[in-house]
Amino acid sequence: MATIGDVARVAGVSRSTASYALSGKRAITPAVRAKVEEAVRELGYTPNAGARALATSQTRVLGLLARFLEDEFAPAMLQYILGVTDEARRLGYDTLLVSEEDGVRALQRLANSRMVDGFVLLNVAERDDRLGVLREARQPGVLVGLPERTSGVDVFDLDFVATGRLMVDRMHELGHHELILVSQPEHVVERGGAYVWRLANAARERAAQLGIGLHTYFGSSSQPSIGQDLNGFLDAHPTATGLLLNNEAAAAALPSVLAARGLRIPEDISVIGRYSDDFARTFSLPFSSIDSAADELGRAAVQQLVARIEGRIAAGAPNIVHLISPEIHERGSTAAPREILDQSG
């Protein structure tokens, strides 16, 4: 295994110069830095994390706390994790994924160690019990998800209130008067998944303002239950002409449900979902959707966190709350309801 001494020898510089070129602790000319970086690539040199931590007080490792919960659709969570890990790698950081059920204990253990330079938290609940520990930690932290109180942490999320409104507005523009909204399982709300009720409440309020009938349901997060749920919702409201989906499992199951019922989109029913574009490609989903921006959120969160770790954001600078505005990505699954099309024809 190559050492820093090997790097110095190949680059034709002293050991200390090679070390400074890699750590950035002293100014090194671009030409010398280029020689050292070329030697690193040639030798496949990887700095020893323990030695680096002792020398720089940094590990260049980010702690990612995420839980794979039975009542949420695991492939959707993976999109957020990939956004974080890909951007961390691009910025020269490794990621330590911690999926321990007791998130408070895991965070305390890592915060008291020298293992990570900062934290990214997923699965953020409205009153997340990890936030007290995070606010007291010496390492900075960032959230992908909006809690009730945002003090002391940077927060990134999709604007779920605006998302609910936009879904209803688009259906109203097309002339729909009766819609079905399928949300995540009720257990997600019970444990603090505020994004579910934020979208649903906003959709209800806008529907009431516009005189639209909106039937709201919680759906399962897995097959075959979600398929049975969707059939039940459609049976209960045969005159509904539009479906709004805030449930990835429902979106994945819907094509087969509609095919079995002989329903075509958008001729018989219009559909708008909320999930990532990567998710849509993975499952070949034909529905217009609002991108949950999993990749964008992960990248933005890591960029903010690394800026704080590396001192590019002044100590004591205010924390930020950044909500991404929703946009509908059209895939041809919405149109005016059949009665309007028949009248216009």
Task: For residue range 102-139, list pLDDT tens digits in order.
Answer: 999 999 999 998 899 999 999 999 999 999 999 999 99
Residue with tokens 């998130």: 103
Q: What is the mean pLDDT of residues 300-327?
A: 94
Say if residue 261 is exposed, middle or buried (CB neighbours under 10 Å; 0-12, 13-18, 19+).
middle
Query: DSSP letters of 200-253?
Result: HHHHHHHHHHHT-EEEEEE--SSTTHHHHHHHHHHHH-TT--EEEEE-HHHHHH
Render pLDDT for 38-72 as a digit per residue (tens, 0 to 9): 888 888 786 654 455 444 467 899 999 998 777 66
Domains of the chain: 4-47 (1.10.260.40), 61-158+294-325 (3.40.50.2300), 160-291+329-344 (3.40.50.2300)
Lowest mean pLDDT among 23-27, 124-128, 225-229, 271-275: 23-27
Q: What local confidence, expressed as pLDDT, does residue 69 receive?
A: 74
Q: Roughly what angle, to the nearest 10 degrees, separates helices 15-23 and 4-11?
A: 100
CA distance 312 to 91: 14
Name the average pLDDT for the chain.
90
Terminal CA-to-CA distance of the chain, rounded, Å? 75
Query: DSSP letters of 130-165?
Result: THHHHHHSSS-EEEES--S--TTSEEEEE-HHHHHH
Q: What local confidence, expressed as pLDDT, does residue 269 receive?
A: 97
What pTM value is reported for the model? Answer: 0.81
Render pLDDT for 238-254 as a digit per residue (tens, 0 to 9): 999 999 999 999 999 99
Judged against a pLDDT cut of 60, whether residue 291 lies above it is answered with yes
Q: What is the mean pLDDT of residues 225-235?
A: 98
Q: What local confidence, expressed as pLDDT, does residue 44 receive?
A: 79
DSSP symbol at 71: T
Q: What is the mean pLDDT of residues 331-344?
A: 79
Judged against a pLDDT cut of 90, whether residue 208 lies above it is answered with yes
User: pLDDT > 90: what percent of the chain?
Assistant: 70
Lowest mean pLDDT among 56-65, 168-177, 317-326: 56-65
CA distance 181 to 215: 6
CA distance 206 to 51: 57
Exposure string for 65-93, b = 16+ CB within 10 A, e = fewer: bbeebebbbebbbbbbbebbbebbeebeb
Q: CB of 280 within 8 A of CB of 289?
A: yes
Q: What is the mean pLDDT of residues 311-323?
A: 92
Q: What local confidence, expressed as pLDDT, does residue 316 receive?
A: 84
Distance of CA 249 to the CA centre of its chain: 16
* Residue 264 neighbours by CB under 8 Å, 6+ apart: 258
Exposure string for 194-226, b = 16+ CB within 10 A, e = fewer: bbbbbbbebbbebbeeeebebebbbbbbbeeeb
Q: Which of 276, 272, 127, 286 is nearest to 203 (CA)?
A: 272
Q: What local confidence, expressed as pLDDT, does residue 58 receive?
A: 75
Q: What local confidence, expressed as pLDDT, does residue 54 receive?
A: 43
Judged against a pLDDT cut of 90, whether residue 82 lies above it is answered with yes
**Structure token pair of residue 127:** 């009153």
Q: What local confidence, expressed as pLDDT, does residue 53 receive?
A: 47
Q: What is the mean pLDDT of residues 251-263?
A: 97
